Amino acid sequence: MQNRKTDLTLTPIESIIRQINTRSTNFKVERKQFPVVPCEAMTVYKSQGGTYEKIVVNLKKGMTRSELYVACSRSTKASGSYLIGDFVPPKPPEHNDSVTMMFKTMRSERMIKFSLEFPEESQRERFPVIFHNVQSLNKNILDVKSDKTVLSASMISLVETRTKPNDSLEIEGFKVVHRRDCNDIRKPFGQITYAKTILNTPQ
């Protein structure tokens, strides 16, 4: 910035170029834009659901607990949060607050019973099918081959394999019953279905 004689109080914003995936191989689409929000400020309600590296919260009198939570939790880290004004902790919720009462009810009357059964540990007769977006089978095939839960399935269906017809994708104990590959370049496309060589189908 000094070489360009630019005001040092200004904040440079670099443009970002992202490629958009298309089904066509004859052309490619790139989007070039500046990562900025076109406003000098926004309300707490407008910021809800957004995430930012740095935020400035203008504290005002009478802000509710929920408003403070939304406003102060938008940044990705605490060091990126800046407060203007005096922070006054909100009053604790009333004893009859609906959210507080629901939490008490969930802790005493509606407790979740955690029960997780892995397919490879089950003794029941079943026909388990695994479906997974593998996002490049060539890169992740070793993970698939070593996953006991996946290998316990009767059928394995993987999508977005990004494979080509000459790729070797065998899995011991399974046979390929369906396969669809990329014809030219590797892209987020493709599907393969394995069936266990010896199937124990429930009666």
pTM over 0.95: no
User: Of residues 177 and 28, which shows the higher confidence score?
Assistant: 177
Angle at 146 between CA 116 and CA 115, to 5 degrees: 0
The closest alpha carbon to 148, from 122, 125, 177, belongs to 122
Helices (H), 29-165: 44-47, 65-72, 98-108, 137-146, 148-151
> What pLDDT does 200 receive?
55
Contact 164, 181 (CB under 8 A): yes
User: Of residues 18 and 119, which shows the higher confidence score?
Assistant: 18
Give per-residue pLDDT as tens, 61-118: 888 888 999 999 999 999 999 999 988 888 888 888 888 899 888 888 877 777 777 7
Contact 181, 165 (CB under 8 A): yes
Contact 134, 140 (CB under 8 A): yes
pLDDT at 131 over 60: yes
Mean pLDDT for 123-131 is 85
Contact 147, 172 (CB under 8 A): no
> What pLDDT does 190 receive?
96
The closest alpha carbon to 44, from 62, 28, 30, 32, belongs to 62
Q: How confident is the model at residue 203 (pLDDT cuts 50, 70, 90)?
A: very low
Non-local (6+) Cβ contacts of 63 within 8 A are 71, 90
Mean pLDDT for 177-203 is 86
